[in-house]
């Protein structure tokens, strides 16, 4: 299958599995899992064509490993990025010494006033490397990268979690715990 089609499916899956499962008439369980058979059936019922092999390809080749199956591939969920209330079962973990947050220059003044907030997502998303942070920032216009003082935050009781696909998450990064690069 062509990359362009995969991207389309991936976008639609993000919408369904992170934000609006009801648009195809499915429900996610408390940990965010959808039943694979039902998902495929309901997506096809909406006039899109998807089979299991294609779904597997999308999960395996997705550039950010956005989705994951359970062991026997009967269930699928998004690895992060939800706006609906689900519990992914993250366990608090010690982050690397340096983490980055990529944002758009238009947000920087506001961030310096009220800290980095999770906005519509469940957590603030942080990147392990600069390159990723820059591309995350570019989604919001001219990119700005903020370095996060993770050690200081850990000492002061803030918790960090790592998602299945290597994105670091935390509840908020208040003013005083980041600096502009």
Binding site for ligand HQG (CB under 6 A): 64, 66, 81, 103-104, 107, 110-111, 114-117, 119-121, 125, 136, 139-140, 167
Task: Output the smallest distance, CB 12 to ligand HQG, in A.
Answer: 13
Task: Output the smallest distance, CB 63 to ligand HQG, in A.
Answer: 9
* Backbone conformation region of residue 26, classed left if phi is above 0, alpha if psi is from -120 to 50, else beta: beta
Nearer to ligand HQG (CB atom), residue 68 or residue 104: 104
DSSP code per residue over 38-89: HHHHHHHHTT----HHHHHHHHHH-TT--EEE-TTSSEEEESS---S-----
Task: Output the smallest distance, CB 11 to ligand HQG, in A.
Answer: 9
Task: Output the smallest distance, CB 102 to ligand HQG, in A.
Answer: 7
> Which pair of structure tokens corresponds to residue 150?
């993770």
3-state SS class at 96: coil
Nearer to ligand HQG (CB atom), residue 51 or residue 129: 129
Those residues whose C-beta lies under 8 Å from the C-beta of residue 82, and which sit 6 or more positions away, are 17, 18, 19, 32, 88, 121, 122
Nearer to ligand HQG (CB atom), residue 21 or residue 81: 81
Nearer to ligand HQG (CB atom), residue 96 or residue 115: 115
């Amino acid at each position: 299958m062509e990359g362009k089609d995969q991207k389309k499916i991936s976008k639609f899956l993000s919408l369904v599995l992170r934000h609006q499962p009801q648009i195809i008439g499915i429900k996610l369980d408390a940990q965010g899992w959808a039943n694979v058979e039902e998902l495929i059936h309901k997506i096809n019922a909406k006039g899109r064509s998807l089979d299991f092999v294609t779904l597997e390809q999308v999960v395996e080749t997705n550039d950010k490993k956005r989705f994951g199956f359970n062991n026997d591939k009967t269930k699928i969920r998004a690895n992060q990025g939800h706006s609906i209330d689900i519990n992914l079962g993250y366990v608090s973990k010690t982050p690397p010494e340096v983490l980055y947050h990529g944002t758009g220059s238009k947000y920087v003044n506001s961030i310096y006033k009220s800290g980095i907030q999770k906005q519509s997502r469940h957590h603030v998303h942080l990147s392990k490397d600069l390159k990723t942070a820059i591309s995350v920032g570019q989604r919001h216009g001219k990119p700005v990268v903020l370095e996060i003082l993770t050690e200081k935050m850990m000492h002061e009781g803030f918790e960090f979690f790592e998602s299945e696909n290597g994105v670091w998450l935390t509840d908020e990064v208040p003013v005083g715990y980041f600096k502009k690069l």
